[in-house]
Amino acid sequence: MAKICENRVVIVTGAGRGIGKSHALEFARHGAKVVVNDIGADVDGTGSSSGPAGEVVDEIRAMGGQAIANGDDVADWEGAQRVINSALSTFGGLDVLVNNAGILRDRMIVNMTDAEWDAVIRVHLRGTFAMTHWAANYWRENTKAGKANDARIINTSSASGLYGNVGQTNYGAAKAGIASFSVIASLELARYGVTVNAIAPAALTRMTESVAALGFNQKERDPNEFDVFAPENISPLAVWLGSALSKEITGRVFHVVGGKIDVVEGWHAGPSVDKGGRWNTEELTNVIPDLVAKARPNADMSGR
């Protein structure tokens, strides 16, 4: 089987468990040299352990691949730079950045604390920004030096951010922000030979096992049947997007569940009305309800 990422240097954040671990292993199977970043925290972001990242590295090396572990905090400005530098110093370059690290602090708005809001926004949104900033600077310097990049950034969004899910205003806002961030970053970084895409995965992991709206069936599964919610289902797309084969694909968000891949089309203008002048506030009572009635309903968590 062809190894479509042979000798490409890849950073996967949050790669100690779940989808991130699956990404790291699949990249390694396809010949990539992998930086496995994970602080080993609990689902809510508390605590730390070097164990998970090291165990993934051991698995990769056992299959004959090359990998190192990194335990820096991606949302820390200097920490994010150290993650990038670890790839450069160990493997001599960087071709792919997969921003996957995340935490959950689910709570209804009326009960959510500012700390719970800030923690989730920090890891997901600031972490994606910080890692992208330092990677983009490396690729920009390459361009200035006359070196060609064939680089990729793959961010992690969520159906919660794209379509909305009760109890996840912090998480959903961060994931919606990452989707928009990806579209804008793709426009900014194209000049440096960098594509930017995002994946909104549906999989059963530590982070999603309590999210009932995703429809996860907790009952014991038949090992002979296809597991729709296995984290490994997400990784083939991530690895393909990280390869040279995806050069023409950028600025896109994909929703993946099982063997199903949707291209998420994002915000589009729907039904509209134009008076040709300023509206009187009272007039809108006879305009807005009709306009909304003509619009499609918001999508549910399946994107439909």
Catalytic residue among 138, 163, 171, 192: 171
One-letter amino acid of 215: G
Task: Share the mean pLDDT of the chain.
Answer: 92
Phi, psi of 201 (to 5 degrees): -90, 150
Is residue 158 part of the annotated active site? The answer reads yes
pLDDT digits (tens, 9 = 90+) for 14-45: 999 999 999 999 999 999 999 999 998 555 55
Catalytic residue among 22, 157, 158, 160: 158
C-alpha to C-alpha distance for 209 and 203, rounded to whole angstroms: 9
C-alpha to C-alpha distance for 278 and 275, rounded to whole angstroms: 7
What's the average model confidence in pLDDT over 225-254?
A: 96
Q: Which percentage of the chain shows pLDDT scores above 70? A: 90
Catalytic residue among 86, 160, 175, 192: 175
CATH 3.40.50.300 for domain 9-264: no
Cβ proximity of 72 and 83 under 8 Å: yes
Closest CA to 71 of 101, 37, 100, 47: 37
Q: Is 74 exposed, middle or buried (0-12, 13-18, 19+ CB in 10 A)?
A: buried
Is residue 171 part of the annotated active site? The answer reads yes
Tokens read off for 17: 């468990």
Name the pLDDT band for 131 (thresholds 50, 70, 90): very high
Is residue 163 part of the annotated active site? The answer reads no
The alpha carbon dihedral of 12, 16, 20, 23 has a sign of: positive
pLDDT digits (tens, 9 = 90+) for 178-203: 999 999 999 999 999 999 999 999 98
